[in-house]
Amino acid sequence: MFESFNPNAAATVDAGIYGLPHNEDTAKIVIIPVNWELTVSYGTGTFNGPEAVMNASMQMDLYHHDFPDLWKQGIWMDEFPRHFKVLHAGLRKDARIIIDAIEKGVIDENRPKYKEIYDRIRKANEDLRFWLTNRIAHWKALGKIVGVLGGDHSVPLGYHLYLSDKETYGILQLDAHLDLRNAYEGFKYSHASIFYNALQFDAITKLVQVGIRDYCEEEADFVRSSNGRITVFYDRDIRKRMFEGSSWRELTDEMIAELPDKVYVSIDIDGLDPKLCPNTGTPVPGGLQFEELIYMLNRLKASGKEIIGFDLCEVAPGEDEWDGNVGARVLYQLIGLAAG
């Protein structure tokens, strides 16, 4: 199968992600798709993000500018369990009841009706977190490099649960948002709370956030009270420094210098300029250009720091495949970062 594969040919309908012929046995890199967006409160669609990336990946050329032989290492995408998709369908309707009540100003979290919904959603998120932790452990035990493909940005918490008792590390996060809210809209495991929740693990010694341009006072206070555990490179400050003469290399090297030797990379697609992800759930003006992100990741690679995990989240398909196209290329670069 592998010997007869032509990397220059068009992908076939029976191929895997990126049109590759690999399977779970031959692939070195496993991507775990997580179709999940229970708590999103603005735009939707990230539930179908893994399929959007998968479909767009079939149209990509395999020869990678930075990692020419990357495809030869084998990349394969796992399956998300059907029972979680069924569970999600029902609970998403329940979550809308909560969100609608909040927007109308009639929410009473002590009412049994609302409390029961909150409890069901919390339990479902916990079940998902433990499933993902165990799935990562399964593939890691087989020597695989593992990445997570969302879904909304709440889903990688299971990866941090997996890593939390194994080593200390830092996180490099690209995002438009701080994601440091405590139980946003009453949802403990909200997409807006991923790093508040992740930082409950002492194993995470540093969080470096890049591209941030939309946040609330609660989150700004959380950053200030972190005693240096969180460093934020706000988008406006980045641009101001560049306008006044700082180079992107200088800035990226400052970001990387803040990180410890072991690094987890978390990419929310909305950290990019929204022209690159117009259908993501909460787009914000500003953000990184595609090549700025690639350069930052390549500088991280060149620094010699060990990449111990990664995720890409918040890709949402639109009427065309543009968001999936960009997402597939970002994911390919992350794979190269971890395995190239």
Question: Over the chain (340 residues), what is each successive 10-residue block's mean pLDDT?
Answer: 82 92 96 96 92 97 96 97 97 91 78 88 97 98 98 97 96 98 92 97 98 98 98 98 98 98 98 97 96 98 98 94 97 95
Q: What is the pTM of this model?
A: 0.96
Instruction: Give me the domains of the chain, ranges plus CATH numbers.
Output: 17-339 (3.40.800.10)
Which two structure tokens, joined as six digits, stand for 168?
A: 């200390």
- What are 208's strand-pairing partners? 172, 231
CB proximity list for 79: less than 8 A, separation 6 or greater? 33
Quickly list DSSP for 155-192: TTHHHHHHHTTT--EEEEEE-SB----SSGGG-TT-GG
Residue burial 233-270, b: 16+ Cβ < 10 Å; e: rest: bbbeebeebeeeeeebeebbeebbeebeebbbbbbbbb
Are β-strands 262-268 and 169-174 bridged in parallel, bridged antiparallel, or unpaired?
parallel
> Do 288 and 174 contact (CB within 8 A), yes or no?
yes
pLDDT, residue 340, reads 75
For the chain, percent helix, then strand, then coil, each to nearest 5?
45, 15, 40
pLDDT, residue 42, reads 83
pLDDT, residue 241, reads 98
Count CA within 13 A, CB hemisphere, residue 77. 26
> Do 98 and 122 contact (CB within 8 A), yes or no?
no
In 3-state terms, what secondary structure has residue 151? coil
- What are 128's strand-pairing partners? none
List of E strands, the chain: 29-34, 75-77, 145-150, 169-174, 204-212, 230-234, 262-268, 306-313
Of 325, 339, 246, whose CA–CA distance to 61 is shortest? 325
CB proximity list for 44: less than 8 A, separation 6 or greater? 37, 281, 316
> Do 300 and 263 contact (CB within 8 A), yes or no?
yes
Q: Which residue has the tokens 């006044």?
A: 244
pLDDT, residue 237, reads 98
The full length of the chain comes to 340
In 3-state terms, what secondary structure has residue 1? coil
pLDDT, residue 2, reads 63
